[in-house]
Amino acid sequence: MSETTVSLGPNKYGKAENRVVRITRDTGRHEIADLNVTSQLRGAALVDSYLTGDNALVVATDTQKNTIYAFAKKHGVPSPEQFLLTLADHFVAGFEWIEGGLWQAEQYEWARILVEGKPHDHSFVRTGQGTRLATVQVIDGSTHVTGGVKDLVVLKSTGSEFHGFPRDEYTTLVETTDRVMSTSVTGRWRYLPEAVEAGIDYNGLYEEVTAVLLSAFATVHSLALQQTLFEMGKAAILARPEIAEVRFAMPNKHHFVYDLSPFGLENPNEVFHADDRPYGLIEGTVVRDGAAPAPEAWTDVPTFV
Amino acid sequence: MSETTVSLGPNKYGKAENRVVRITRDTGRHEIADLNVTSQLRGAALVDSYLTGDNALVVATDTQKNTIYAFAKKHGVPSPEQFLLTLADHFVAGFEWIEGGLWQAEQYEWARILVEGKPHDHSFVRTGQGTRLATVQVIDGSTHVTGGVKDLVVLKSTGSEFHGFPRDEYTTLVETTDRVMSTSVTGRWRYLPEAVEAGIDYNGLYEEVTAVLLSAFATVHSLALQQTLFEMGKAAILARPEIAEVRFAMPNKHHFVYDLSPFGLENPNEVFHADDRPYGLIEGTVVRDGAAPAPEAWTDVPTFV
Amino acid sequence: MSETTVSLGPNKYGKAENRVVRITRDTGRHEIADLNVTSQLRGAALVDSYLTGDNALVVATDTQKNTIYAFAKKHGVPSPEQFLLTLADHFVAGFEWIEGGLWQAEQYEWARILVEGKPHDHSFVRTGQGTRLATVQVIDGSTHVTGGVKDLVVLKSTGSEFHGFPRDEYTTLVETTDRVMSTSVTGRWRYLPEAVEAGIDYNGLYEEVTAVLLSAFATVHSLALQQTLFEMGKAAILARPEIAEVRFAMPNKHHFVYDLSPFGLENPNEVFHADDRPYGLIEGTVVRDGAAPAPEAWTDVPTFV
Amino acid sequence: MSETTVSLGPNKYGKAENRVVRITRDTGRHEIADLNVTSQLRGAALVDSYLTGDNALVVATDTQKNTIYAFAKKHGVPSPEQFLLTLADHFVAGFEWIEGGLWQAEQYEWARILVEGKPHDHSFVRTGQGTRLATVQVIDGSTHVTGGVKDLVVLKSTGSEFHGFPRDEYTTLVETTDRVMSTSVTGRWRYLPEAVEAGIDYNGLYEEVTAVLLSAFATVHSLALQQTLFEMGKAAILARPEIAEVRFAMPNKHHFVYDLSPFGLENPNEVFHADDRPYGLIEGTVVRDGAAPAPEAWTDVPTFV
């Protein structure tokens, strides 16, 4: 009987969750960029670090960390996408054996504190309405960029129905024409490569897309969370020509009408229990027709959960 | 040698973290109140449930839960403070052996989604800028009410110094006249009993106090987080005559200047590592002179951590 | 009308969550102590740091951190209680204006990895069965020490009843003579001062007390979680003469019998939904008769939640 | 200019995090299985739920939930893998338009409480040494099964080196021949389809593989976490012929030697600060030579992070 042997399959390595805060203080009116940055590298030549612990080609994760902080100084953080692109280019262009990698960022938003109605120059309060996301993927000789948002929690207190679903022996759900619908939106949009090439106003786009997602959630009369998801993605793509596709993961955060009938009280969708688990989990991708597919862009990117 | 015997000391029991969402839909323009409510009861007569498992006087935690949801329907949620007061009165007045208890609420804030610039009637997005807090304590025949806020994360990129501290053999910290200062404010204010009696606009007060806390954080030139804490509490008390005292717990969320000198780069307070642990933890109470002390008001209330 | 003035009330400050790992490597068989240590100081003379930002008496939180790590080297970590006592003594004896403070520790347990059935000399796996707790409180000229455990999750699949409770208009709960009972035990025991003085085998006591708590949970036929709590505390006090009192917070982690009747299936306590929120929250103290009360020992110690 | 149109891309939907607890009580000696189960379905015909909100083919997420709990009664939970296989077969065989899906489980381990040294019949304590994982993927007409473990935290206090890595302008890391190495292992192993077909002792395999992973971590003298990862995967594959490949994500949980030199103390790898963020993040796959590749098996499975 032949001996069992093994080989190295897909892999990458790097430094995760570097909490970089960059203050721009060229004038008395400071600006703040607050990021959580992960850098990971790939390359066939790195196999020896796995097979024998030979680190001759291992750009240390500590070096990746230093580079992130140094680049925050040298290049600033015009946008998370642009910051990651600069990092990616550094590692792929600078080390011949580094063939690609995945760079990810979360960005936390801050607003200026109001003092007597005026925004303060150097004092900020963190807003918690969603966290901004970005990734840069270099793979198979191509570069892919995504933007996104997570933890954008929305609720509509009417304008949502759910009925017409099939019934089998395990179906007990009652059909409804009026329910609370609530979700925590995680959405990631992939930019068209030609748009990345031409340059994108990433910050302006983020503001517009998140506004469009919220507006679509609000105005779509929903027959299913799936339908709402699709209309939200469609609205984003219609709004911005730079977007090739949008991937969503949306938990259906159930709000159950509390049964008050034992207490002689009616409850016409007024009092709800917001439940934790289990939750519906609806995932879907909305794709611009004609955009070249790029499934490899999503390699190892957390999308559906 | 005598036998060892034991007795029951301080105790209370109830139902924690009831996630009540109350929609007011009297008109097409819905209102939302989103709370996390805990109800716990005390009474000397409850001792038998501990000693022998005799539940004859145990108002079931499930009954407390039902009451919370039923009261959300019957009384609405004008403010978390008012909602808890109604609950407390029900249990203490309704069961002769219930001598008191502690009722706590968190409230999550929602903003109307903007559609073409206009606030939507029934679609909301959760804002994450702090969580509102309230407690009602009935103890020793008195009722105490607090409001508060937690997870209000603030940062100032200059206007903070720290020097003049004593140096012993374990001191290595360098003095600074310019640093980033950041904290996550947890503050709870106790209302004067006479103000509670007279009636308080709890919602308006919450808006004003959180604005005042932010403004004080922004404008105080800080020599120590302790000093900033004190000035924030003082500002709140000066702003609102209903407040007897304010308790704060403020982590000093360290932002370390990243050492870029090995890379030939200067770092004049521009690039920081936002560290997780350990963190400074500054706690303090600011008290209105002349207000009657009420340490029992804080029994079992999470304040300092 | 007189001007509003304010004063400083209760306060303390320090460095929280220092993640100290101490390896003892005197021989090839290493030992590991893995702690999360918080140090906070109190003293009337510290008032100026709050009032004016005068730091002349502020033993910097950074200095407290350095001291913790230095003491891990100098004194080792024989037990969390002993480690905190050494720290407390250093600060209170070493700085005349430091009147007291609160020192807290969590300790994470590690087991030796088994290699061919034998415990390895220097490789460990973290066990997750509860987290050990300790505090030292110096206040009003006295020193108080507690040990404890949190996140000790237990479940019994029978041997638990709940009935005989009063019914009011909001009561819907059905009485039961057989239910699943599950809780996550947080318990803290205060040591008798004379036992601290005489010296305690803190590690042996921790092992014994946690075993006794588990055993009591298992063997008490429960009529209420309150009763189980009391019997657990009683068992701990009977087991160890060093313990003055035990404080518990026990969530009643509800396991609901899933209604399978729509599917033509019986469910005689076999299939449960483990719910998250809300949960019962039972808190209580078991006190050794004759032990001198010391309510100040619990100042700012997280006990009931 | 032509109108923008969009289409539906990759998607799935279902009910996530069903917290099922199954007690087997055929005898007085009860058994417990405690799972967190997610069920999600895919099928081209489901497109209309996204496009128009037509739910005619949408097996409701509530129905999926009911099925999970009903199957826990009807089929028991012999192992998480087997439980998910039964669920998957039900949905794919039972609804002609359901082409596939992803079923995931976490399983929490409980130990019997010891009473006077003997394991109790119906009282349990949750052990926290890793969480067991399983998935079943039905895709493109094939069924793929994985087992796994997460949050298995290990540490070795010596026997780890890191040197020989390249140095560029951003490299400051000092080479070391003796360091603490610690990680939290997340590993998922894919079973060979023919082994699944033949039947596997999933529980026995889980016990053996986790023991082998721990043993390999302990005994490999490490030159890089990459090398340790590879040796751990190799050991698992050598131990069990049912395993086709193993995917790992391993954070390098940095333990920094605390600088005690300012205090006149040496620190020969005795006192460490266990840091939170950033952390190294090493990911890799170890593949049995000759096993047929099945990248689609990992679709949407959280592996690398």
How far is it, in rounded angstroms, from Cα B122 to Cα A155?
A: 8
- Smallest Cβ–Cβ distance between A60 and the set D60, D165, D247 belongs to D165
Residue D279 sits in the same domain as residue D151: yes
Which of C15, C156, C253, C255 is catalytic? The answer is C15
Q: For residue range B246-255, list pLDDT tens digits in order.
A: 999 999 999 9
Percent of chain B with pLDDT over 90: 98
Mean pLDDT across the stretch D99-123? 98
Q: Give the mean pLDDT of chain A.
A: 97
Q: Mark whether A118 is an active-site residue.
A: no
- Smallest Cβ–Cβ distance between D56 and the set A166, A227, A289 belongs to A166
Residue C164 sits in the same domain as residue C255: yes
Residue D234 domain flag: yes
- Smallest Cβ–Cβ distance between B262 and the set D172, D262, D276 belongs to D172
D277 touching B (Cβ < 8 Å):
yes
> How far is D115 from chain A, CA to nearest CA, in Å?
34
Question: Is the CB of A223 less than 8 angstroms away from the CB of D13?
Answer: no
Q: For residue range A34-57, list pLDDT tens digits in order.
A: 999 999 999 999 999 999 999 999
Mean pLDDT across the stretch A243-269? 98
> Which residues does D34 contact at the CB level (< 8 Å), separation at least 6?
C274, D20, D21, D22, D107, D108, D110, D126
**Which residues from C are below 8 Å from D215, CB to CB?**
113-116
- Final residue belonging to a domain, choices A65, A99, A128: A128
Q: Does the pLDDT value for residue D251 go beyond 80?
A: yes
B176-to-B269, C63, C117, C159, D262 alpha-carbon distances in Å: 11, 15, 55, 62, 20
> How far is A175 from chain D, CA to nearest CA, in Å?
11
Q: Does the pLDDT value for residue A256 go beyond 80?
A: yes
Place of tokens 């200019």: D1
The pLDDT assigned to D304 comes to: 82
Grade residue B128 by pLDDT with cuts at 50, 70 and 90.
confident
Residue B7 domain flag: no
Residue C3 domain flag: no
Residue D86 sits in the same domain as residue D61: yes
Q: Does the pLDDT value for residue D142 go beyond 80?
A: yes
Place of tokens 């302990």: D218
Residue A304 domain flag: yes
- A153-191 as b/e, with b when 16 or more CB fall inside 10 Å? bbbbbbbbbbeebeeeebbebeeeeebbbbbbbbbbbbb
Which of D61, D131, D143, D285 is catalytic? The answer is D61
Grade residue A123 by pLDDT with cuts at 50, 70 and 90.
very high
Residue A97 sits in the same domain as residue A176: no
C246-to-B44, C204, C239, C286 alpha-carbon distances in Å: 19, 17, 12, 5
Residue C96 sits in the same domain as residue C234: no
Question: Is the CB of D114 less than 8 angstroms away from the CB of C180?
Answer: no
Residue C75 sits in the same domain as residue C118: yes
Angle at alpha carbon of residue C243, lines to B43 and B54, rounded to 5°? 30
- Final residue belonging to a domain, choices A79, A107, A128: A128
Q: For residue range D150-160, list pLDDT tens digits in order.
A: 999 999 999 99
Residue A77 sits in the same domain as residue A222: no
Q: Mark whether D73 is an active-site residue.
A: no
Question: Is the CB of D170 less than 8 angstroms away from the CB of B263?
Answer: yes
Q: For residue range B179-215, list pLDDT tens digits in order.
A: 999 999 999 999 999 999 999 999 999 999 999 999 9
Q: For residue range A16-34, list pLDDT tens digits in order.
A: 999 999 999 999 999 999 9
CATH value at residue D28: 3.10.270.10
- ipTM more than 0.90? yes
- Final residue belonging to a domain, choices D79, D106, D139: D139
Question: Is the CB of A123 less than 8 angstroms away from the CB of B260?
Answer: no
**Which residues from C are below 8 Å from A276, CB to CB?**
276-277
- Smallest Cβ–Cβ distance between B269 and the set A19, A25, A268 belongs to A25
Q: Does the pLDDT value for residue D305 go beyond 70?
A: no
Chain B residue with minimal CA distance to C236?
B6
Grade residue A3 by pLDDT with cuts at 50, 70 and 90.
very high
CB contact at 8 A, D114 and D81: no
Residue A145 sits in the same domain as residue A95: no
Q: Which of A165, A173, A238, A256 is the best residue to mutate to test the D interface, defined by the most D CB atoms within 10 Å of its own CB? A: A165
Place of tokens 């108002």: B59
Task: For residue A11, list its beta bridge partners.
Answer: D284
Q: Does the pLDDT value for residue D80 go beyond 90?
A: yes
Q: Which residues of chain C have pLDDT under 50?
A: none
The pLDDT assigned to A305 comes to: 60
Residue D4 domain flag: no
- D229-262 as b/e, with b when 16 or more CB fall inside 10 Å? bbbbbbbbbbbbebbbbbbbbbbbbbbeebebee
Mean pLDDT across the stretch B265-282? 98
The residue ranges of DSSP E strands in C192-291, in sequence order, are 243-252, 255-257, 271-274, 279-288
- C120-153 as b/e, with b when 16 or more CB fall inside 10 Å? bbbbbbbebbbbbbbbbbbbeeebbbbbbbbebb
Joined tokens for residue A2: 């032949």
Residue C27 domain flag: yes
Grade residue A2 by pLDDT with cuts at 50, 70 and 90.
confident
B160-189 residues touching A, CB cutoff 8 A: 180
Residue D17 sits in the same domain as residue D127: yes
How far is it, in rounded angstroms, from Cα D89 to Cα D69?
A: 16
Residue B97 has a CB neighbour count (10 Å cut-off) of 13
CB contact at 8 A, A200 and A163: no
Residue B216 sits in the same domain as residue B295: yes
Q: Which of B1, B5, B13 is the best residue to mutate to test the C interface, defined by the most C CB atoms within 10 Å of its own CB? A: B13
Its domain, for residue B109, covers 12-128
Residue D6 domain flag: no
Q: Mark whether D219 is an active-site residue.
A: no
> Which residues does B271 contact at the CB level (< 8 Å), separation at least 6?
A20, A21, A22, A23, A69, A72, A73, B257, B258, B260
Q: Does the pLDDT value for residue D1 go beyond 60?
A: no
Q: Does the pLDDT value for residue B1 go beyond 60?
A: no
Residue D19 sits in the same domain as residue D166: no
Mean pLDDT across the stretch A114-136? 97
The pLDDT assigned to C155 comes to: 98
B253-to-A60, A305, C16, D114 alpha-carbon distances in Å: 28, 31, 11, 44
Residue A103 domain flag: yes
Q: Which of B263, B272, B279 is the best residue to mutate to test the D interface, defined by the most D CB atoms within 10 Å of its own CB? A: B263
Q: For residue range C191-250, list pLDDT tens digits in order.
A: 999 999 999 999 999 999 999 999 999 999 999 999 999 999 999 999 999 999 999 999
As for how many domains chain A has, the answer is 2
Residue A23 sits in the same domain as residue A80: yes
